[in-house]
Chain A
């Protein structure tokens, strides 16, 4: 659906008005949009405020041309199935880039959104591979999965080995299993704390919180103040649903409390005082600075709340940065992102995320699939994804590109963050089982159980999973 300039102007005016109102913290407006406009203006009480109508591209920039088009054209007419980003800006980027690829090469690509929940995505892949299914050609792999799926993936060394040398070496090493390059690095990720600069200023804070105690105090004060005008306002939003995202969140809490990384040096260390303290703290947020509903939040729920102007702080991945600064975002230019808080004497932690692209061994069109991967992971594509969606490139030279530096300002102070990997090295193909044990335990704490007792059970369950 195309917006006419008039609509655009009207939406802009409504947004500007709203930002003004938000700024004055008197934003309980329920302004009906003009008839015929399917998008409501950003009223603080409507979640649809940040929703785009389906098919309405949030991406204005043009994706780069396919530089390997000459090679890829050889496979024109072949059909690929690509397990893509399911939601949000990533899904949008996938759509425009795939469109470009089809245009330039004549290869037909069907986009299949992977399940939003990484735990389910993992299970889906496992079933597809177990069945030796040809129904997937190119797939997104979480940074922790190459080991688990290596035996089902094509060795990309021959065709993409040269291109891989441009990428960050540690990620390439992560994706190399028994000498085979089973996946190409696509983007890397770590957890960040987003804060509303305007609200910090309004309540007299000079900089974002450094310790968890500070975060709690600031969130409480801002929440109390904002609720006068916006009863649904929240101090701090994060990912509390029982899924892989909770593993990532909780790992950050625990590591920044000096509680280790679930499994350290091959030993299950999850049940320790630091971890207990971290979880007890998180439990305290539910129903105070975070709503009880946070225990059903995924990334997009948190971003939706924060971007709608209904939260002071948010834990999320870098992609939320570009989305929050999108043209019609109510919080455009009103927020910053940086390291997550930590306990005094500890360091900020960020769980390492990031996704790779791989080709299934059972794909009937491996060559065409490899060309798609080549395009999607190319320097031009990574630059495009960084500037349009704030996905962190895996190619150092692209990271240093001035435009990219401008788009990802939080990379500058990333050196203060301890990057914590999830324990996939120790779990191998049983990662999912260990992670489910962990996030379900954390979830139980958030629902009110005692951290110490629960962590004991988690330890027991992980032990059993790895036996």
Chain B
């Protein structure tokens, strides 16, 4: 995490005159920051604090009852709520499955695309597309391909290839639906992951490989001894971003499954509780829990990061 540090490393101005000048500059800086700070306070900090507060109340919309402070009641309920447990497990499982697949597949794709070949930039551009279009829309496209009667996948598997006897209800069948949605996420994000890793690959100096070749290292050795270690920082950053995204996944599950209980993520469960049920108190507690789980993941990654750097 290299932040842009110390823009004015050493001031050239004489010390005496600079005191009041510095003060003025400081004030200016805050003035320039003001609009952003107001917006941040308004749409992020205050709402976040409010969410924490609301999670200790029984606030509901539309009941006409005033909100009451209920202490940790909502959290006690969460601990006993099997739907919440299922949502946490599903979300974490989804995160692990998709992020790991995306990382391995993405690395493979990055290595392929890193080679010299004709049409390379066209391929890279094509890879950006799944990332660029709205998840809601790609989910619709996939839902149509998954259709149990008229979908192209069923047609391929049953009629053309003869792999299956009968059509599969990819979206409805509980044994398949998780994998169906995981594939959509992997499709959307693997190319993106590959592009991030590609940027990392290109930072590796090519003379390292040449030196290795002179020393008689095999391709595999070059990969494990040079590529992987030097790519680690890029991989970790990509991992962090993808993990956070996967943990808060909402759109694709909402479009594919609506209120279906066995396919609820933490975010869809929170949204349902907040919006469909209008139970602001309990919904806020779910949101806070999601927030904390994300924080735990970040801390784990940062710890790994630090030991790597040390």
Residues of A in contact with B (beta carbons under 8 Å apart) = 45, 47, 117, 119-120, 122-123, 126-127, 129-130, 148-149, 151, 231-232, 241-243, 291-296, 428-430, 432-433, 436, 439-441, 443-444, 447-448, 457, 460-461, 464-465
Is B64 an interface position by the 8 A CB rule? yes
Q: Can you give 10 contacting A-B residue pairs, CB < 8 Å?
A: A47-B149, A117-B258, A123-B276, A130-B61, A130-B278, A242-B261, A436-B277, A447-B174, A460-B80, A461-B81
CA distance in complex: A461, B166 (Å): 38
CA distance in complex: A465, B282 (Å): 10
Q: Which residues of B contact A119 (CB under 8 A)?
A: 259, 276
Contact A447 B262 (CB under 8 A): yes
How near does chain B come to A226, taking the closest CB pair, in angstroms? 15
Contact A148 B62 (CB under 8 A): yes
CA distance in complex: A446, B62 (Å): 32
CA distance in complex: A31, B60 (Å): 55
CA distance in complex: A126, B64 (Å): 12
Is B227 an interface position by the 8 A CB rule? no
CA distance in complex: A232, B154 (Å): 13
- Which residue of chain B has its CB nearest to the CB of A460? B80
Contact B82 A457 (CB under 8 A): yes
How near does chain A come to B218, taking the closest CB pair, in angstroms? 49
Taking CB atoms and an 8 Å cut-off, the chain B residues in 103-162 that contact chain A are 148-150
Most buried by B among A243, A429, A439: A429
Contact A440 B62 (CB under 8 A): no
CA distance in complex: A465, B276 (Å): 13
Is B51 an interface position by the 8 A CB rule? no
Across the interface, A443 reaches (CB within 8 A) one of B149, B166, B262, B272, namely B262
Is B83 an interface position by the 8 A CB rule? yes
Main secondary structure of the interface of B (DSSP, over half): loop
CA distance in complex: A122, B173 (Å): 28
Q: Which residues of A contact B169 (CB under 8 A)?
A: 291-293, 296
Is B3 an interface position by the 8 A CB rule? no
Question: Please, how many residues of chain B have a CB less than 8 angstroms from a CB on the other chain?
Answer: 30
Residues of B in contact with A (beta carbons under 8 Å apart) = 60-64, 77, 80-83, 148-150, 166, 169, 171-174, 258-262, 272, 275-279
How near does chain A come to B127, taking the closest CB pair, in angstroms? 32
Q: Which residues of A contact B83 (CB under 8 A)?
A: 440, 457, 461
Given A436-B272, A440-B83, 14 new contacts (CB under 8 A): A47-B150, A119-B276, A123-B277, A127-B61, A129-B62, A148-B62, A241-B258, A242-B260, A243-B259, A291-B148, A429-B62, A433-B277, A433-B279, A443-B262
Contact A432 B174 (CB under 8 A): no
Contact B278 A123 (CB under 8 A): yes
Q: Which residues of A contact B171 (CB under 8 A)?
A: 296
Most buried by B among A149, A294, A296, A440: A296
How near does chain B come to A310, taking the closest CB pair, in angstroms? 10
- Which residue of chain A has its CB nearest to the CB of B167? A232
- Which residue of chain B has its CB nearest to the CB of A449? B262
Which 8 pairs, one residue from A and one from B, show the smallest C-beta to C-beta distance?
A440-B261, A293-B169, A447-B174, A296-B172, A123-B276, A433-B277, A126-B62, A429-B63
Q: Which residues of B contact A460 (CB under 8 A)?
A: 80
Contact A464 B77 (CB under 8 A): yes
Contact A243 B64 (CB under 8 A): no
